[in-house]
């Protein structure tokens, strides 16, 4: 085997090694990024529908299954009057009034966002954006941010 | 003759008094036959496996306790569970719990001792809760001890139990099976209010 051949194959080897290392690094980086994928930025997310707390509860009461297909896991904007403010478990929870005192709209303020406003009073009218989680006795909206 | 009249009168008095007593007793009973409820109970679960710790919580679980019967109901929305990692939350909802198909987890059961617990004075009590839990469309029996604390007119309840993932027809791909614990520890914590009928 001529000498220069050997050199060439050695060069090839180191190039191959470098390429493999790069691919591995890139793969690792992408994997790491995917693994640490951030939560959806709710303030930047587009709202799918805007409606009142009264209408939202009404829709769930009329037909829960169809309301689930319409709203579940979707970003929605809900407006209503605050019936109660609850600050439990380090979280701010707003209860929005509807026609039925037993079926409210519960808005859990997003734990992953910083909120300009965290103090609310009953009777205040608010508009919030969040992800609809469904209905138990009340319709629950999670990851809420205040629009106004 | 006079005597008998008197005794008849006293009898009448006695009868009225008895009836009044019974009425107040009955009324008293119906007054204690209240329901307690919460819509802001916290539910969390935790599991530890060699590679990853899985932890998620929600504060919008709802629960109703009927004092008269000792019946207990707890419901939680699967989608309302918050994870630290968005990817985990996505997999939990889409692949494992299929929360679009099964949006709720529900527990229905009874706490027979609840009736005999005096909640009007401050104190701590434990009661056995027995019933059925439905997750991912599968219903399994569940028995757990509940810590009940009454304090200043408020009622707090707390319980902890373990669930076996495989019991609920939750299929975990073999690639990640070893990374996900087979047992999940569930914690519930609630502050109850008296339910006022309007």
**A2 domain residue, yes or no:** no
Number of domains in chain A: 2
Residue of A68, A108, A136 lying closest to B59 (CB–CB): A108
- pLDDT at residue B5 in the model: 53
Q: Cβ of B100 and A133 within 8 Å?
A: no
Cβ–Cβ gap A39/B86 under 8 Å: yes
Whether residue A131 lies inside any domain: the answer is yes
User: Does the beta-carbon distance from A136 to B87 stay under 8 Å?
Assistant: no
Q: Are residues A73 and A13 in the same domain?
A: no
Q: Which chain B residues are Cβ-neighbours of A138 within 8 angstroms?
A: 39, 62
Same domain, A85 and A18: no
**C-beta atoms of B100 and A89 within 8 A:** no
Give B7 to chain A, closest Cα distance, Å. 54
Same domain, A120 and A79: yes
pLDDT tens column, B105-148: 999 999 888 878 888 888 899 999 999 999 999 999 999 999 99
One domain for residues A73 and A32: no
- Interface check A88 vs B, CB under 8 A: yes
Contact, A106 vs A120, CB < 8 A?
Answer: no
Nearest to B128, CA basis, from B150, B111, B109: B111
| Confidence check: pLDDT of B52 > 80 | no
Q: What are phi and psi of A145, to 5 degrees?
A: -125, 145
CA separation for the pair B34, B192 (Å, rounded) = 12
Q: Do A79 and A101 sit in the same domain of this protein?
A: yes
Interchain pair A35, B59: CB under 8 A: no
Q: Do A101 and B198 touch (CB under 8 A)?
A: yes
CATH code of residue A55: 2.40.50.140
In a shared domain, residues A54 and A115: yes
Contact (Cβ atoms closer than 8 angstroms) between residue B41 and residue B61: yes
Which domain does A54 fall in, by range? 49-146
Domain membership of residue A66 (yes or no) is yes
Residue B13: predicted pLDDT: 67
Same domain, A33 and A53: no
**Whether A67 and A104 share a structural domain:** yes
- What backbone torsions phi and psi does residue B22 show, to the nearest 5 degrees? -60, -40
Q: What pLDDT was estimated at residue B181?
A: 80
Q: Are residues A32 and A96 in the same domain?
A: no
Considering only CB atoms, B42 lies closest to which of A89, A101, A133, namely: A89
Residues A26 and A92 in one domain: no
State how far the Cα of B155 lies from the Cα of B187, in Å rounded to an integer: 17
What's the mean pLDDT in A118-126? Answer: 90
Residues A67 and A135 in one domain: yes
Flag whether A1 is in a domain. Answer: no
Does the model's ipTM exceed the 0.85 cut?
A: no
pTM summary value? 0.79
Residue identified by tokens 């019967």 is B69
Contacts of B191 in chain A (CB under 8 A): 88
Domain presence at residue A67: yes
Does residue A96 sit in the same domain as residue A32? no
**Three-state DSSP state, A13:** helix
Q: What is the pLDDT of residues A32-49, one digit of tens each?
A: 888 888 888 888 889 889
- Position B76 scores a pLDDT of 95
Q: Would you call A15 an interface residue with chain B, using a CB distance cutoff of 8 Å?
A: no
């Amino acid at each position: 085997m001529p000498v220069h051949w050997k050199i060439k194959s050695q060069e090839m080897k180191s190039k191959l090694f470098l390429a493999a290392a790069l691919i591995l690094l890139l793969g690792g980086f992408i994997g790491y990024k995917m693994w640490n994928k951030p939560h959806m930025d709710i303030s930047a997310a587009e709202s799918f529908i805007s409606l009142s707390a009264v209408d939202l509860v009404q829709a769930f009461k009329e037909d829960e299954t169809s309301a689930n297909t319409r709203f579940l896991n979707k970003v929605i904007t809900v407006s209503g009057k605050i019936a109660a403010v609850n600050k439990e478990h380090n979280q701010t929870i707003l209860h929005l009034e509807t026609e039925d005192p037993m079926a409210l709209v519960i808005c859990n303020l997003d734990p992953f966002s910083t909120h300009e406003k965290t103090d609310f009073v009953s009777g205040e009218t608010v508009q919030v954006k969040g992800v609809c989680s469904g209905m138990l006795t009340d319709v629950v909206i999670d990851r809420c941010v205040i629009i106004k | 003759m006079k005597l008998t009249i008197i005794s008849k009168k006293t009898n009448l008095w006695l009868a009225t008094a008895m009836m009044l007593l019974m009425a107040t007793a009955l009324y008293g009973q119906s007054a204690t036959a209240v329901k307690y409820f919460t819509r802001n109970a916290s539910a969390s679960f935790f599991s530890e496996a060699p590679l990853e710790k899985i932890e998620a919580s929600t504060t919008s679980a709802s629960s109703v306790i009927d004092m008269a019967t000792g019946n207990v109901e707890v419901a939680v929305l699967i989608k309302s569970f918050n994870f630290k990692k968005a990817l985990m939350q996505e997999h939990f909802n889409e692949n494992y719990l299929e929360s679009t198909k099964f949006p709720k987890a529900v527990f229905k059961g009874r706490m027979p001792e609840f009736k005999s617990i005096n909640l009007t004075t401050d104190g701590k009590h434990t009661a056995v809760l027995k019933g059925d839990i439905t997750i991912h469309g599968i219903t399994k029996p569940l028995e757990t001890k509940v810590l009940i604390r009454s304090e200043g007119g408020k009622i707090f309840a707390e319980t902890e139990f373990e669930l076996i993932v495989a019991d609920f027809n939750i299929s975990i791909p073999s690639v990640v099976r070893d990374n996900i614990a087979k047992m999940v520890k569930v914690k519930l914590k609630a502050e109850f209010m008296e339910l006022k009928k309007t």
